[in-house]
Structure 1
């Protein structure tokens, strides 16, 4: 885990008095995530998750936390932020913004079967629909503007072949994002990071999505692409498992039918989802931040996925199967 800001039980005991949660009894670091410092905490009133935000600011955080509250109020299983006595859901801890949210039950399903992928697809569609009337707007902070800003910083570390792949894919995505076809895609708040370790299951029952701190407004299809590129692949090769892809897409389509414009954009969007995480992993690998414990993810994983999505068309969103 990345521990950028250590928090002791004594620190927590003083800080938590502003909440109606009773006394703090335990705090334990969570062994995932490289953007924030996360802890499980135990209080008189139960177990919760404490997050100290390392990059997001007090000004940026209301979007994420209010989105979670909005979704929770509409029946989407996500952690609900806990307000303090003053009604604030964002409060300073060690000079950084922090929040407490409810803890989901279950565990991550790291070896998903089609039944798990179907559950994720259906919940993702419900999440998109529930967020469609969320009043706050914030762009995807790891979207195409960030890709264009970040690519030049990692290019010097890459081989000539990798430089060509990255440069050409950025050009492809820039051209597509400027097209009328892209403008026709449905948009709204997206999770943008719905990997296997950000979903909880109790057996085959999906108990919730969490870690919304990459969320932003973007195309819903990009969210689907990011999710398929993690849930529906062989982790060793990056190749798609058609049974899992079909299960996820069919379940999503049954809740929110895909459009013809989305069908036409599907292959390009899968490449976009792979590019986004290849680029962020390249950045974290070659330009790491100091942290107490930080192991960057392998950038080669999403480089392989991007090459596969370019070379081999994926199953369609709907029809022809």
Structure 2
């Protein structure tokens, strides 16, 4: 269970007593998280999620609170920080920043359908259009991704060097192009989710009931956010990894019906798929190294994104933007 900071029921009950959520009933630690501690908390007025933020500078938390308030006001199904009776939304518990949020309904999906991908694309387009005038610089942007990947070539990824190094150098050169030569410099940007995997979306049938875990949200290319989704929601990961053309086109069409893609995005699409795959291959590899041998911490397999990255480099399954 990925509960980095254990809490007793007494500690949780005392914490929630400052909110108008009724009487504390029970709490349960949430497995599946890899960065923060989460507890499901049942009270007489409803069900909530208590989050202790374990990673990243606490100075960024007002940004996340403002972003989720903005998206909530745009009627997107997102969690948002509940203010206590004094009007305070950001708290401290066990020396960790703490937030209490409504628990959203619905379930994660494993066997994704094309209709669910269409709904995801449409929701993501609305999210990009509703992010308000907010800005945050990610500490894991494109430059960090490529440099960190290059640093793994001598040891952790040396068996992949023959096919991976040329691709990394091409991405590095592409990112370093002068503005006038690089279509990426004119790509649409906004605050993106940055981590919109299947385990961060809740469904009731084909209807999205929740989008969660915005702690990687930052200013970035909208196309990168779409590529992150495609790399998780639209890949058939059997013996041979391949893009599922039906689900990919459904996701892209769902998005494009709300915000059509432009020529610059068309030109950058294949590189963006590589960059999105590389971003999570790198971060998962780093997480493995940081938490090697530690018990009770969910460490996600970097190998999935190794396979996705290799699939995109080989270019066997190309689905163009509509």
Task: Calculate the TM-score normalised by the size of structure 1.
Answer: 0.93
Q: Residue 198 of structure 1 aligns with which residue?
A: 200
2:188 aligned with 1:186: yes
Could you give the per-residue CA deviations for residues 274-295 of structure 1, whole angstroms, max 9, x where no partner exists? 0001101111112217865113
Distance in 2 between residues matched to 1:89 and 1:154, nearest whole Å = 40
Check conservation: 2:91, 2:97, Cα contact below 8 A: yes
Deviation at 1:244, TM superposition (A): 0.2
1:46-85 mapped onto 2 (5 Å cutoff): 46-85=46-85
The residue aligned with 2:120 is 120
Q: Is the 8 A contact 1:275 1:302 kept in 2?
A: yes
The answer to whether the 8 Å contact 1:186/1:219 transfers is yes
2:136 and 2:278 mapped to 1: Cα distance? 21
Q: Does residue 140 of structure 1 match 2:138? A: yes
Mark the runs of 5 or more structure 1 residues left unpaired by the alignment: none
Alpha-carbon RMSD across the aligned residues, in angstroms, is 1.8
Structure 1 equivalent of residue 34 of structure 2 = 34
- Say whether the 8 Å CA contact 1:154–1:286 is kept in structure 2: no
Deviation at residue 157 of structure 1 after TM alignment: 3.5
Offset from partner CA, 1:124-148 (integer Å, 9 cap, x none): 00100111xx233112232124325
**Alignment partner for residue 246 of structure 2, among 236, 243, 246?**
243
User: What is the match of residue 317 of structure 1?
Assistant: 321
CA distance in 2, matches of 1:290, 1:20: 42
SS at match of 2:237: coil
- Show the counterpart of 1:173: 171
State the 1:6 CA deviation.
Answer: 0.6
The verdict on how the C-alpha distance between 1:170 and 1:87 changes in structure 2, with shifts beyond 3 A counting, is farther
- With over 3 angstroms needed to count, the CA separation of the structure-2 counterparts of 1:67 and 1:169, relative to structure 1, is farther
Tell whether the 8 Å contact from 2:77 to 2:211 is kept in structure 1 after alignment. Answer: yes
Quick check: 1:232–1:244 contact (8 Å CA) kept in 2? yes
* Whole-Å separation in 2 of the counterparts to 1:46 and 1:231: 31
Report the TM-score, using the length of structure 2 for normalisation: 0.92
Contact 1:65 1:81 (8 Å CA) reproduced: yes
Q: Is the 8 A contact 1:122 1:254 kept in 2?
A: yes
Contact 1:106 1:207 in 2 (8 A): yes
> 3-state SS of the aligned residue for 1:75?
coil
Q: How far off is 1:55 after superposition?
A: 0.9
Is the Cα contact below 8 Å between 2:32 and 2:298 reproduced in 1? no
The more displaced of 92-101 and 144-153 is 144-153
Q: Find 1:255's aligned residue among 258, 262, 272.
A: 258
Q: Name the counterpart of 1:232.
A: 234
> Of residues 280, 285, 307 in structure 2, which corresponds to 1:282?
285
Deviates more, 1:231-240 or 1:62-71: 231-240
- Counterpart secondary structure, 1:171: helix
Q: Which moved more, 1:220-229 or 1:39-48?
A: 39-48
SS in 1 for 2:57: coil
Is this contact kept in 2: 1:58–1:90, CA < 8 A?
no
Displacement of 1:165 after TM fit? 4.9
Aligned equivalents of 2:58, 2:83: Cα separation in 1: 15
Map of 1:89-168 to 2, 5 A cutoff? Answer: 89-131=89-131, 134-148=132-146, 150-151=148-149, 154-163=152-161, 165-168=163-166
| 2:88 corresponds to | 88
Q: What count of residue pairs does the alignment treat as equivalent?
A: 316
Point out the more displaced range, 177-186 or 300-309.
177-186
